[in-house]
Structure 1
Amino acid sequence: MDIRIFPFFFIFLFCSCNQEEQKAVVHPFENRHYLELLEVGKESQQLDSINELLIELENDSLINSLYFKYAYYSLKNGDSKKFRYWNRKAFIKSIKINDTLKIAEAHWDLASYFLQDNLIDSSYYNYNKAFLFYDAGKEEFLSGMMLLNMAILQKNIKDYAGSEVTTIKAINKIKKAKNKSQLYKAYNNLGIIYKELGDYKKALEYHGRALEFHLISGNLLLQASSLNNIGNIYKEDGYFDEAIEKYQTALQVDSIEIKRPQLYAMLLDNRAHARLKKTDTVGIFSDFLEALQIREKINHESGIVVNKIHLSEYYLFKKDSLKALKYASQALALSEQTSNHRDILNSMLLLAEIDINNEGYFLRKHIELSDSLQNKERRVRNKFARIHFETDEFIAKNKQLNEQKKWLIGGSSGALILSFLAIIIFRQKAKHRKLKNERDQQKANEEIYRLLLDQENKIEDGKYKEKERISKELHDGVLSKLFGIRFTLSNLNLKCDQDSIKIKEKHLDDLRQMEQEIRLISHELQNNKFQEVGFLKLLRKLLEDQAMILGFLPTINSDPSIPWERISNPIKMNLYRIIQEAFQNIKRYSGASKAEIKLILKEECLIISINDNGRGFDIDKKVQGIGLANMRSRTKEIGGSFYIKSGKMGTLITIKISI
């Protein structure tokens, strides 16, 4: 009975929980229609009209949730046609939206439906399907519940070995969720299995473990149920006193007759039956009658059958064959009416013992039914075995696919990693080559700059030596000769005529002037103040060379306070190349007639500006040009900032470098 009720109860809770989650995210319009459609679907018989209304939701998850709700209410109300209709719709929608948990739930619902109709094999098949989906989705608790439902079905068809294995698998999964109620059911199932197998010690052990969950929870009514199970084992094993003690303890639970009349009647009947087995019949008839009255009042059919079998045994013990036959016959009729095969067989055995005249008939019917049930159970067990085999094959194939997937993923990952490493190595090598090339280029630039300086120094040194030679020649040669001439002319002063005196004086004055001029030239030749060797000299020479191309000589204004000797050669070399590139651009694009270079020292910052009066350009369009890119790159190399401004009035390039 528990196994039938629980799935429906859980589905209801599960769907309700899902609906609460949906309310937080769906449109209010959908919420309103969802609630309306929920009520309409529960009552309406017009399936097509409901489907038309469902389209308004425009949300597959909400629609699917309603399908499950409708299926649940149909199952609850015993409407098989509507249940199968909505269950199929839920299957199709769940597959469409690829919701594997909902597919599992649809199988669970279908398993419960088949269980109601006592189609054990179909129920088992769908529980197994639900298990596979839940297990694939790593839903340990739900997959454990499906295994437990399957185990109970196996127990019901007397596949005790199979049920034991499945129950243990279920326990291992349910333990992780720490769900006490399901663990109780699992241990209780193991207790029943071992009782049927005649292993009463193990049966008591597992029923005892099941009882522990109720002792922890403090639920006395559930404790009473476990005590009844334990009492049944003692009774079956012939320990009647222990059985009576367990039943008695359970019957002392406060208000049990009001809160759980079915359990109360069962305990009364079992206690009386244990005393009958012990041949202690004092007062047991009233217990049998009270239990029967309660069961008839609540229409507990299987309980009524057991009660009447016990009453038949009681009258047989009392040697009242007529009443014994009466209750045994009633038990047989009711058990056949309810298709309760266990009690049919028990009733037939009892009737064979009571009705001596028809003993052969009842024994033959008992054998026929027993054989038929065994064949049926064997067929169902075979079906279960096939389902297990297919499941094992599926799991094995799935494992194989997973292994292949792992190898594929591993191989792909390895290939990707190797490719990634190869790319990194290649890029590192390329980067190293680039850095080496840049270092080589830097060294080459520095060497070029050094050679330029050496060349200028040699030229200046040659000029200086040539000037020194000329100075010496003028001073030692020309001046000495002129001095001799002047001295000779001075001697002509001996002539006293007026004309000679005037001519001599005139020549003497000319010679003095010539002497003064030559002396001045000599001194100037020896003066080094005008020399300008180094970076500025190179710049001036660059501008002189550019003047021939540009058609005008650019001007250069340099702050005399700039400490060029403190500025490193890489900075001066890159500045030289930047200025060179700037004038290349002026020649190619600007059409300028004037250009100026300014070199300023401001707050330990060297500022170089290059300005021309040519036609400007759109910086955004030209920003990717090679010339500008090179200038920016060189500025970045020496830790500077590059700025450019261009318009109709010309172009201004500014470079700032901290020194």
Structure 2
Amino acid sequence: MVRFLLLFALFYCSGSLYSQQKQSIDSINKLYVQGLNIPQDSIVALFQNNAENARKISYKLGIADAYFQLSLVYGYQGNYEESTKNSIEAIKIYENENKLDRLADYYGEMGYSLKYSDLPKALQYMQKGKAIAETNNFENELKDIYNNYGVLKEINNELDSALFYFNKGLEIKLKLNDTIGVPYSWSNIAGVYGLQENFPKSREYFNKSLQQRLLWADSLGIAENYTQLGEVFLAEQKWRDAIPLMHKSLPISLKKQYQNLTLYNYQKLTDIYKKLNNADSALFYFEKYATLKDSIHGLKIQERISALNIEFETEKKENQILQQRAQLAEKDLEVRRKNSFIFGSLGLALILGLLGYLFYNQQKLKNRQLQKEGELKSALAKIETQNKLQEQRLRISRDLHDNIGAQLTFIISSIDNLKFGFTDISEKLNQKLGGISSFTQQTIYELRDTIWAMNKENITFEDLQTRIANFIENAKNASEKTDFSFNIEENVDETHIFTSVEGMNIYRIIQEAVNNALKYASADEIEVNISAKETAYNIEITDTGMGFDPESTPLGNGLNNMKKRAREIGGTLQVKSSKKGTSILLNLPK
């Protein structure tokens, strides 16, 4: 009986100790990395020790959480290779443990960490996390995933989509009273307004974010906000107003070792002082920028050189030992001269072999370096060509918007002035003028759609969903008696890529079908449904209006244009109509 009680007490104590250790590990893993006011090396050591402590008690989730915290720390330091390694280790454990909420969160964070090094891969990971969180309605994870997905959209110059996801994330954060996360959403929204040149709105949101972060003492967020407010002044060409803000950000980024932000501040200060013709200050900050950039981007090369130097010194010392042995052997007794000669020859052969091996390795390293330089030059030339093409597209779209759009707006204004400026105008002429005004307004809408397509090299179903949703929203305002619905089935890959020409033709076909249903069919309900088969996508537009007889009714320009657009993108268009309504089916091979 006594033995049983001792065993029970021992088991109870060990269980209690395990529980306490788990609590301690979890509390450290829940620390908010950006808010830790200790050196970066200490933060890394803190989570490395926590991972080791979790490993000692076989606490797998504790190990995974520590890995993920390390990935965040390395990401802020600009060490993306270590950040990615730790994220992958964390994700492996979450998959094995079937922790879907954490898996969604860390797929999203892993995508976010790859945003500058591999954007397609970043989008792939982010969409994976987004799908898991949306399927299971993980609001706590979705608030951050939507926010970070918006950042990827902004980097990809999809500003409307970026603003859409930033606001979705902000809505959930406000609902959950996430006082830490809300300022990040405000900052991101402010950034989009800045890119859209709405500077007062951008400054307003950055200041909201800064005030909240000052209360919370978020050092990383405060430094970023100061830099971002400075960038708004830079965009407005108010160079002197930007300088104090950059100088407020720089000491924080230096102290907290936020290498990428420090590098960016140096670059911006260099540009500002160039604009102000202050050569001394511009040179000072450029040297700072160049030194830090080399230290970040040349790290791997330095490590390899260091390893080669160690190898070379080791071989050199071995050669010296062999030579000393040979010299000692030569001074030995006459009876051992023969052996000394043999050892000397062997030593010389070994030296020659080592020197040849070293020369071969150096030559191999040099060839590899030349190959890398050639690949880098090719990549830079390709990027430069793509940038020039994108700049040309943006210039053409800007000219269309600024010149032709302004001229069309002037025509509308002139027509309205004619209608209201002459009281004795005839009703027939008034109708004619009204028709011209409506046609011109429609031309402006089509011009905006064309500009939207020109600004994109590729268009996805997700882009089409956003654009069509906006179009249907406008159609709802124009026809309040008609119910609209837009549906995409779950088996449709929202990331499927179309060329801008294909995407524009799909959008025009849907737009024409909806307009026809509104103008001619007097439909009570209009539906747009997108589904996927094994070899094709089907886009069907149906209405409950008064149909027509396709056999006896001649096809108008609208339907003929839709069929022509379908042929141009390799698809087919089927039109079915009866007294109960009309169905238009666009079939697109995958």
Q: State the TM-score, normalized to the length of structure 1.
A: 0.38
Higher RCO structure, 1 or 2 (CA under 8 Å, sep 6+): 2
Q: State the TM-score, normalized to the length of structure 2.
A: 0.42
